[in-house]
A = this chain, B = another copy of it.
Amino acid sequence: MQELKERIVKEGKVLPGNIVKVDGFLNHRVDPKLMDHIADEFKKYFDVDDITLVLTAEASGIALSAICAGKWNVPMIYAKKAKSDNIEGGLLKSEIYSYTYKKKVTQLLSQEWISPDDKVLIIDDFMANGEAIRGLTDLVAQSGAELKGIGVAVEKGFQKGGDRLRDMGLNYHALAVIDQADENGFVFREDDPYLYE
């Protein structure tokens, strides 16, 4: 997605350890107009008329997913990070490793709000190792719902998350895959061909 890549080049930063910072428009300050355009771009890769639910992970995926769900006229649900050891009933759980928090994190989803009849599109703003997405696919599997696809705005292609999903044959697309990020700037992978236009 050209517009997204241009924003990354113009406003993104690379910190030591190949950390890519896009918090000026994607995941701290949010540019809702860009989110709107990203939703339109996802529509070229996913049959959004055939989904019933957008699923994302707390917290940074929520803004993009809410705007996508609004445009596609379906509800959105976000997996919460477990707050404590309190065990409530009716919760689906997945264990993931958070590289940000450097510890195991539990994702929680109320069974009440996802059913085996649902057709789910997972949306997230950013993927590196893909642990959050792995947890979300696990929650969908537990719910019995159908996973229709996984859409990510920005993927760090030089880490393992995206390629693992591709190798699994999942309907996964990212709109800007960064294959290299260092003091020389960003190198992007070529976009996937559109499926719906």
Which residue numbers of A lie inside 8 Å of B, CB to CB?
A: 23-25, 28-33, 35-36, 58-59, 62-67, 69-70, 73, 75-78, 80, 83-84, 100-101, 110, 112-113
Contact = CB atoms under 8 A, between A and B. Distances in A.
Contact of A29 (B75, B84, B101): B75
Please name the 5 residue pairs, one residue from A and one from B, whose CB atoms are nearest each other, closest first: A32-B70, A63-B66, A59-B59, A29-B113, A62-B62
Q: How many copies does the complex hold?
A: 2
A79 to B, nearest CB: 9
A128 to B, nearest CB: 16
Contacts of A33: 70, 73
A31 B30 CA distance: 20
B75 A101 contact: no
A77 B28 contact: yes
Most chain-B CB neighbours within 10 Å: which of A31, A58, A63, A100? A63
A7 to B, nearest CB: 13
Q: Is the interface of A mostly helix, strand, loop or mixed?
A: mixed
Given A28-B113, A32-B67, 6 more contacts: A30-B66, A31-B75, A32-B66, A32-B76, A58-B58, A67-B67
Nearest to A114: B29
B23 A75 contact: no
B110 A76 contact: no
Contacts of A110: 23, 28-29
Among A24, A32, A36, A78, max chain B CB count under 10 A is at: A32
Given A28-B78, A63-B76, A70 B35 contact: yes
Nearest to A80: B28
B67 A83 contact: no
Contacts of A67: 32, 66-67, 70
A30 B76 contact: yes
A113 B24 contact: yes
Contact of A24 (B25, B36, B64, B112): B112
